[in-house]
Amino acid sequence: MRIIRPIFAVVLGIFLIFVGMNQLNKTDVTCGGQIMTEGDQCRETKHGATTAVRDYNAQKSDNTTTGWGGIGLGALFLIGGGVLLVSRLNRSGASV
């Protein structure tokens, strides 16, 4: 049980990095899964109220930021989980 959480963190980190890289490699600008074109606006809503409106270029930038955020967060989970996993394996006397 002591190594389950670090393993989960490593797997989650790999997944987040993959999702972030996938987001960065997209050539289409999307809003809610819909492909945008120049002149379109992306409206973000929460509980029926519009919380943000972005034009094509702002949404493209937001998509890029989201991709890098996924990679960064994934790297933190991967490194943190890996360090914790090695630490716990060394404490238990198991060889890595």
Please give the average per-residue pLDDT across 70-82, as a whole number: 98
> What is the pLDDT of the chain when averaged over all its residues?
93
List, in sequence order, every beta strand (DSSP E) within the chain.
Answer: 30-31, 34-35, 41-46, 49-55
**Is there a contact between 10 and 82 (Cβ–Cβ < 8 Å)?**
yes
Q: Which residues pair with 34 in a beta bridge?
A: 31
Residue with tokens 């490194």: 79
Contacts of 89 (CB under 8 A, 6+ apart): 3, 95, 96
pLDDT of residue 26: 93
Contacts of 41 (CB under 8 A, 6+ apart): 53, 54, 55
CB atoms within 10 A of CB 79: 13
pTM of the model: 0.81
Position 91 confidence tier, pLDDT thresholds 50, 70, 90 = confident
Domain spans in the chain, listed from the N-terminal domain onward: 4-91
